[in-house]
Structure 1
Amino acid sequence: MNRNEYLHLSAELLFLEKQLAKPGLSKLSTMSIHSRIAEAKSSLEANSQHTHQPAKVIITYRGAPVLGAHGVLAEFGTAATQAFSEAIATIAASISGTLADKGPLPNRSNNQLLITGTALGSFGFELEEVPASTPLEMEAATSVSQAIDLMTELLEATTKSDEELSEPVSRLADRALSSVADFLGKLSSYDACCSLTTLTRQFQFVDSEQVRQSKARLSLDNIKETTETFTGEFIGALPGKRAFEFRTADGLVIYGGIPRQIPDPGAVNLNLYKTYDIRLSARRIGSSKPRYILQRFPWADS
Structure 2
Amino acid sequence: MIIRERQLLQSEIATLEELIHQTPKEDVIDRKSLEARKREVEAALSILNPPYYEPARSQLKFRGKPTVKSQGVYADFAASALDKYAKMIVVLGSDQTNELGSRGIIPDREEFKLMITGTLTGSFGFEIEEAPKERTLLPELSPVKAAMEKANLIMELSAGSSDDEVADAIADTSTRAVEAVRVFLEVMEIYDAVFAIELDGNKSLRFANVEQIKQTRERLKPENIIEGDADLLGKFEGTIPARRLFQFLSETPPEIIIGKIGSEIEDPSKINQFIERPMKIKVHTKQVGNSRPRYTLTRYEVIAE
Tell me the TM-score range normalised by the shorter chain: 0.7 to 0.9
CA distance in 1 between counterparts of 2:84 and 2:235 reads 44
1:124 aligns to what?
125
What pairs up with 1:214-253 in 2 under 5 angstroms?
A: 214-249=216-251, 252-253=255-256
By how many angstroms is 1:171 displaced? Answer: 1.6
* Residue 295 (structure 1) aligned to one of 281, 295, 298: 298
Per-residue Cα deviation, 1:42-74 (whole angstroms, up to 9, x for no partner): xxxxxxxx9421222221111111122222112
Per-residue Cα deviation, 1:195-252 (whole angstroms, up to 9, x for no partner): 1122242111111111111111111111111223322233333334332222334763
* Shift in CA distance, 277/110, structure 1 to aligned 2, threshold 3 Å: same
Report if the CA contact (8 A) 2:60-2:195 is conserved.
yes
2:173 aligns to what?
172
* Shift in CA distance, 78/52, structure 1 to aligned 2, threshold 3 Å: same
CA distance in 1 between counterparts of 2:241 and 2:145 reads 20
105-114 or 141-150, which deviates more: 141-150
1:136 aligns to what?
138
1:11 aligns to what?
none
CA distance in 2 between counterparts of 1:235 and 1:195 reads 44
Unaligned runs of 5+ in 1: 4-49
CA distance in 2 between counterparts of 1:98 and 1:71 reads 39
CA distance in 2 between counterparts of 1:193 and 1:75 reads 16
Q: Give 1:71's aligned amino acid.
A: G
CA distance in 1 between counterparts of 2:142 and 2:246 reads 23
1:151 aligns to what?
151
TM score, norm. by length of structure 2: 0.75
Q: Give 1:59's aligned amino acid.
A: L
By how many angstroms is 1:120 displaced? Answer: 4.8
**How high is the sequence identity, in percent, across the aligned residues?**
31
* Shift in CA distance, 71/254, structure 1 to aligned 2, threshold 3 Å: same
By how many angstroms is 1:267 displaced? Answer: 3.0
214-223 or 228-237, which deviates more: 228-237
2:46 aligns to what?
none
* Shift in CA distance, 119/241, structure 1 to aligned 2, threshold 3 Å: farther
Q: Give 1:235's aligned amino acid.
A: E
- Higher alpha-carbon Rg: 1
Report if the CA contact (8 A) 1:236-1:244 is conserved.
yes
193-202 or 205-214, which deviates more: 193-202
1:100 aligns to what?
101
CA distance in 2 between counterparts of 1:196 and 1:238 reads 35
By how many angstroms is 1:257 displaced? Answer: 1.7
Report if the CA contact (8 A) 2:119-2:126 is conserved.
yes
SS state at 1:288 partner: coil
CA distance in 1 between counterparts of 2:132 and 2:260 reads 30
Q: CA RMSD in A?
A: 2.5
* Shift in CA distance, 262/94, structure 1 to aligned 2, threshold 3 Å: farther
Q: Give 1:62's aligned amino acid.
A: R
1:284 aligns to what?
287
CA distance in 2 between counterparts of 1:113 and 1:298 reads 44
By how many angstroms is 1:144 displaced? Answer: 2.2
CA distance in 2 between counterparts of 1:135 and 1:269 reads 36
CA distance in 2 between counterparts of 1:98 and 1:238 reads 23
Aligned pair 1:76/2:83, yes or no?
A: no
Unaligned runs of 5+ in 2: 4-50
TM score, norm. by length of structure 1: 0.75
CA distance in 1 between counterparts of 2:265 and 2:74 reads 45
* Shift in CA distance, 248/137, structure 1 to aligned 2, threshold 3 Å: same
CA distance in 1 between counterparts of 2:132 and 2:300 reads 36
**Aligned length in residues:** 251
* Shift in CA distance, 58/279, structure 1 to aligned 2, threshold 3 Å: same
Aligned pair 1:273/2:272, yes or no?
A: no
Per-residue Cα deviation, 1:14-56 (whole angstroms, up to 9, x for no partner): xxxxxxxxxxxxxxxxxxxxxxxxxxxxxxxxxxxx9421222
Report if the CA contact (8 A) 1:255-1:292 is conserved.
yes
CA distance in 1 between counterparts of 2:194 and 2:243 reads 33
CA distance in 2 between counterparts of 1:240 and 1:195 reads 35
* Shift in CA distance, 51/277, structure 1 to aligned 2, threshold 3 Å: same
By how many angstroms is 1:178 displaced? Answer: 0.9
